[in-house]
Amino acid sequence: MAKTVTAYKEKMKELSVLSLICSCFYPETRNKLVYMEVKPIDKRASGQAFEVILKPQSPVSDLAHNLPSPPKRDLSLEDIEKKLEAAEERRKYQESQVLKALAEKREHERDVLLKAMEENSNFSKMAEEKLQMKMEQIKENREAHLAAMLERLLEKVSAAEARAFIRENQRKEKSGYFSV
């Protein structure tokens, strides 16, 4: 493991040399990572793992991170009142925005409810019309069927009457009694 850590450090040094060579071609200033610490982490099944810790370049940069905040100035009564008024205005504005959003939400809910009621009403009307048409069609079909049955019955009755008349005439002829 120690060999791997040293190999990694050497590789990082080579990268520094490479960046030096590149800086000759590209004269832009670049942040150089001179100070670093490499800590090996437990060997994993998939290979080696390292933790690279970069240290600041100089003690001056440590001070740059720990600058004290500027001293607070004393607030006058007028400044405090202005801040309170501004806070009150912000609170009122936020409250009005919340109320406006609630009103819009209620309006939207009302519109959705009205649309649903209208669609339900339209559906009910359409269903009622379809049912009415179906009932009328059934009634017409039933009346046509009954008329056809009645017509067939009348034909059968008239045919039966005709046969009865013919039989009666034939009996009379056979008996010799036929009068016209």
* Residue in this structure with the two tokens 């990268």, named with its chain if needed: 15
What is the domain partition of the chain in residue ranges?
A: 2-56, 78-172
Q: Which two tokens stand for residue 111?
A: 């519109």
pTM: 0.38
List the one residue out of 61, 3, 75, 6 whose CA is nearest residue 33: 61
Structure tokens belonging to residue 76: 């006058």
Q: Which residues 6+ apart lie within 8 Å of 53 measured at CB?
A: 36, 37, 38, 39
Q: Which residues contact 5 (CB under 8 A, 6 or more apart)?
A: 38, 40, 50
- The encoded tokens of residue 34 equal 């001179």
From residue 13, alpha-carbon distances to 16, 38, 93, 179 in Å are 5, 12, 59, 146
In the chain, the amino acid numbered 67 is L
Sequential pLDDT tens for the chain (180 residues) = 667 767 667 766 666 555 655 555 555 544 545 566 667 776 666 677 767 776 665 655 555 556 667 777 777 889 999 999 999 999 999 999 999 999 999 999 999 999 999 999 999 999 999 999 999 999 999 999 999 999 999 999 999 999 999 998 888 888 865 555
What distance in Å separates the CA atoms of residue 123 and residue 48, rounded to the nearest whole number?
A: 71
